């Protein structure tokens, strides 16, 4: 059931044109309609007080959270309270015990629960009027242990491309009142060159032992000016790093070399909203191959797709019509499949007076965004690698085939252990195969 939930997307939104979003935003900037009219009716004193209250509330909340988590006694108390609440909910719902290793129980040291700082924190928590976040019996249906795809191998956004974000300087922003918050000001007409739509998307892969289910691989932020091929080049994929075989005169494998990491793909395609964007390589286009394959199916089972007029390297995201929560298919490197979903909603620098679907899929550039390096990698699922069979401590980088000293063939070893083994006596019967380099 958990895998089924993770592989379920939707319901999808209505088709959204990125070009129309940019056009509407450009028109709104020129006309000044992004200014909230209600702010014009307030006095400057009230404006300053409201802005100070908003800024103070966020900083106060952040400070209070940091004070709790930086204090071992308080953070331990909060964790114990959460564990006991979860256990109570599971007991009331008669939910099955989670599989795998049992969670560690937090045992309170003697006297810690009666500490003055703990009692003071609990009084503050009990005084909170917000009750909608409390765990009910129905919450047990959505509880599960953390999976590998929930963790992020990155501690900060990673720059993976050369895209540059055009932003607006605060000096170019004109407002009818200096007290109007930055997020509600209208820029001057000569400041429209900053318009870039930032689109957040998540890439999913098929699970090897459950091909009908998907798991999250990575998350990226791309610019509307970048192409589909720019996205494909930065998607972490083991098939793009497979060692290259070397054949001898008789056609047998004589060795392996690692790829040059140039990002080139031997054929690829994107299937988006019924259009197939191929690579237009010197050989047969991948899009033509796919359509020719579908023509062999019975007419009632043929997917309704057509070849796009442009290739993936010529198609920018600004030329696409997309839907949020709708999986789109990627095929490359022969038979390697990925799916990407437009799914993240983030706040922008300027707001429309009414919430529309256009500012859901994209947002305008914000001064806090990195100025360059797009596409950005926002999330990367940690890779589970095989450990060295000799030391059992570090990931293996070599697969040794035909070495009698190791007791098994192939045998996975790390680089230091293989160097320690020394050269084999009969080099002709031993082959060293480099393992796939994971991002």
Domain that holds residue 51: 34-146
Which of 11-25, 106-120, 183-197 has the highest mean predicted lDDT (pLDDT)? 11-25
Q: Are residues 101 and 167 in the same domain?
A: no
Average pLDDT over the chain reads 78
- Domain assignment present for residue 28? The answer is no
- Does 66 map to a domain? yes
Final residue of a structural domain among 333, 364, 380: 380
Average of per-residue pLDDT across 27-41:
64
CA angle 42, 44, 47 (to 5 degrees): 65
Single out the residue of 264, 193, 257, 189 nearest to residue 233, CA to CA: 264
- Predicted pLDDT at 334: 83
At residue 273, the pLDDT reads 94
* pTM (global) more than 0.85: no
User: In angstroms, how far is CA 433 from the centroid of its own chain?
Assistant: 31
Q: Which range has the worst mean pLDDT, 2-6, 148-152, 221-225, 333-337?
A: 2-6
Nearest CA among 376, 432, 412 for reference residue 223: 376
The distance from CA 9 to its chain's CA centroid, rounded to whole angstroms, is: 15
Render pLDDT for 362-395 as a digit per residue (tens, 0 to 9): 555 666 778 889 999 999 999 888 899 999 988 9
List of residues 6+ apart from 45 with CB closer than 8 A: none
**Same-domain check for residues 325 and 364:** yes
Q: Over range 248-262, report the average pLDDT.
A: 69
Q: Does residue 186 belong to any structural domain of this protein?
A: yes
Q: Is residue 1 part of a domain?
A: no
Q: Is residue 78 part of a domain?
A: yes
Structure tokens at 36: 């909230």
What does the pLDDT look like over 274-291, one tens digit per residue?
999 998 766 678 888 888
**What tokens appear for 149 in the block?**
């795809």
The larger pLDDT score, comparing residue 70 to residue 7, is at 70
243 and 310 together in one domain: yes
Q: Which two tokens stand for residue 217?
A: 């691989």
Report helix, strand or coil for 62.
helix
Last-in-domain residue among 364, 380, 396 = 380
* Cβ partners under 8 Å of residue 389, min gap 6: 396, 406, 408, 411, 412, 413
Claim to verify: residue 76 and residue 135 sit in the same structural domain? yes
More confident residue, 166 or 228: 228
176 within 8 A of 24, measured Cβ to Cβ: no
Residues 319 and 417 reside in one and the same domain: no
Decide if 69 is inside a domain: yes
Own/partner pairs, 276-279, CB within 8 angstroms, 24+ separation? 276/305, 276/306, 276/307, 276/308, 277/228, 277/308, 277/310, 277/311, 277/312, 277/315, 278/307, 278/308, 278/311, 278/312, 279/229, 279/311, 279/312, 279/313
Q: Are both 246 and 318 inside the same structural domain?
A: yes
Let me know if residue 13 belongs to a domain. Answer: no
Whether 343 and 280 map to the same domain: the answer is yes
pLDDT at 300: 85
Q: What is the pLDDT of residues 313-351, one digit of tens each?
A: 999 998 999 998 999 999 998 888 999 999 864 433 333
**pLDDT value of residue 37:** 63
List, for residues 139-189, the tens digit of each pLDDT value: 887 777 788 888 999 988 999 999 888 755 444 443 333 333 333 333 344
Question: In the prediction, which pLDDT does 211 show?
Answer: 84
The two tokens of residue 195 are 């318009």
Q: How many domains does the chain have?
A: 3
- Return the H-helix or E-strand segment holding 160: strand 158-164
* CA dist 301 → 83, 162, 277, 297, 374 (Å): 50, 42, 21, 6, 39
The two structure tokens encoding residue 174: 């004109």
pLDDT at 104: 58
**Claim to verify: residue 277 and residue 229 sit in the same structural domain:** yes
Asked if residue 331 and residue 300 are part of one domain, the reply reads: yes
| pLDDT at position 190 | 42
| Average pLDDT of the residues in 101-126 | 74
Rounded Cα gap, residues 251 and 197, in angstroms: 51
Token pair listed for 69: 């988590």
Q: Which residue has the higher pLDDT, 394 or 114?
A: 394
In the prediction, which pLDDT does 112 show? 63
Same domain, 91 and 215: no
Q: 111, 146, 181 — which closes off a domain?
A: 146
DSSP string across 291-310: HHHHTTS-GGG----EE-SS
CA 97 to chain centre: 30
Would you state the pLDDT for residue 111? 60
Residue 399 forms part of a structural domain: yes
Give the pLDDT of residue 96: 60
Are residues 297 and 347 both part of a single domain? yes
Closest CA to 207 of 7, 416, 431, 44: 7
The answer to whether 358 touches 26, Cβ cutoff 8 Å, is no
DSSP 120-148: HHHHHHHT----TTS--GGGGGG-----G
- pLDDT, tens only, 42-91: 778 887 887 777 776 777 888 888 999 999 989 999 988 888 888 888 88
**CA 70 from chain center: how many Å?**
28
- Sign (positive or negative) of CA dihedral 166, 172, 175, 178: positive
Both 435 and 304 in a single domain?
A: no
CB 286 within 8 A of CB 312: no
């Amino acid at each position: 059931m958990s895998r089924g939930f993770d592989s379920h997307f939707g319901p999808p939104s209505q088709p959204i044109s990125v070009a129309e979003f940019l056009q509407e935003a450009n028109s709104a900037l020129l006309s000044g309609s992004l200014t909230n009219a209600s702010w014009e009716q307030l006095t400057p004193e009230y404006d300053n007080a409201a802005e100070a209250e908003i800024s103070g509330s966020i900083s106060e909340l952040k400070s209070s959270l940091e004070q709790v988590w930086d204090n071992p006694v308080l953070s331990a108390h909060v964790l114990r309270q959460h564990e006991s609440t979860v256990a109570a909910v599971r007991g009331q719902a008669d939910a099955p015990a989670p599989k795998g290793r049992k969670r560690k129980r937090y045992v309170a040291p003697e006297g810690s629960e009666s500490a003055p700082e703990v009692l003071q924190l609990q009084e503050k928590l009990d005084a909170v009027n917000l009750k909608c976040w409390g765990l009910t019996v129905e919450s047990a249906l959505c509880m599960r242990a953390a999976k590998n795809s929930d963790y992020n191998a990155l501690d900060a956004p990673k720059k993976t491309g050369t895209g540059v974000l055009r932003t607006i300087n605060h000096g170019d922003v004109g407002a009818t009142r200096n007290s109007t918050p930055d997020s509600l000001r209208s820029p001057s007409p000569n400041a429209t060159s900053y318009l870039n739509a930032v689109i957040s998307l998540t890439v999913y892969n098929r699970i090897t032992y459950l091909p009908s289910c998907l798991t999250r691989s990575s998350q990226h932020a791309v610019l509307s000016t970048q192409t589909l091929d720019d996205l494909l080049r930065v998607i972490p994929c083991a098939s793009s790093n497979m060692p290259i075989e070397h054949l001898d005169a008789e056609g047998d494998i004589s060795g392996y070399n690692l790829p040059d990491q140039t990002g080139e793909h031997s054929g690829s395609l994107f299937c988006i909203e019924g259009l197939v964007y191929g690579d237009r390589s010197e050989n047969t286009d991948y899009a033509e191959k796919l359509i020719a394959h579908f023509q062999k199916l019975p007419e009632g089972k043929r997917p309704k797709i057509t070849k796009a007029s442009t290739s993936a390297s010529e198609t920018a995201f600004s030329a696409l019509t997309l839907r949020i929560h709708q999986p789109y298919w990627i095929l490359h490197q022969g038979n390697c499949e990925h799916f990407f979903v437009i799914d993240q909603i983030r706040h922008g620098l300027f707001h429309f007076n009414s919430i529309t679907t256009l500012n859901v899929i994209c947002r305008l550039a914000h001064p806090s965004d990195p100025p360059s390096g797009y596409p950005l990698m926002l999330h990367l699922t940690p890779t589970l690698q095989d450990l060295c069979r000799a030391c059992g401590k570090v990931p293996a980088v070599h697969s040794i085939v035909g070495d009698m000293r190791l007791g098994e063939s192939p045998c996975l070893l790390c680089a230091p252990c293989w160097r320690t083994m020394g050269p084999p006596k009969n080099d002709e019967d031993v082959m060293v195969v480099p393992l796939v380099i994971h991002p």
